[in-house]
Amino acid sequence: MVEVHGRCARVEWDGTSDYRAEHLVAAETDDERQEKKEATDLLRDFLDEEPRRSKEVKEEAREAWGISVRTLKRARQKLGVRAFKDGKEWWMEMPAGVREEGGKGATP
């Protein structure tokens, strides 16, 4: 069980597990890093010149690149990609500073 208090979490073991605590908090693997890099590359390429429908970006990520929604979300956060709603559809947009700096952006 994990309880969150403010910005801290407390883990309370509730039975046995095949995992050790250090494995659960370990840094990301090489495969995870590569997938995140591919996701940021996709976002830079796809959103380079104009906003795109979120649905279209997610489909491209999943179908053509094999990128999970969770990894795409992490890449969006890293690049500061803005999501906005226009009418009934959600869109994604690369911040102007990221486009101008050739893809280097700060996390919002």
The CATH code of domain 29-100 reads: 1.10.10
pLDDT band per the 50, 70, 90 thresholds, residue 107? very low
Per-residue pLDDT tens over the stretch 25-68: 666 778 888 888 999 999 999 898 899 999 999 999 999 889 99
What does the pLDDT read at residue 84?
A: 95
| Domain range summary for the chain, segments of one domain joined by + | 29-100
Q: Residue 78: is its pLDDT beyond 70?
A: yes
Residue 21: strand, helix, or coil: helix
CA pair distance 90, 77, nearest whole angstrom: 16
What does the pLDDT read at residue 96?
A: 80
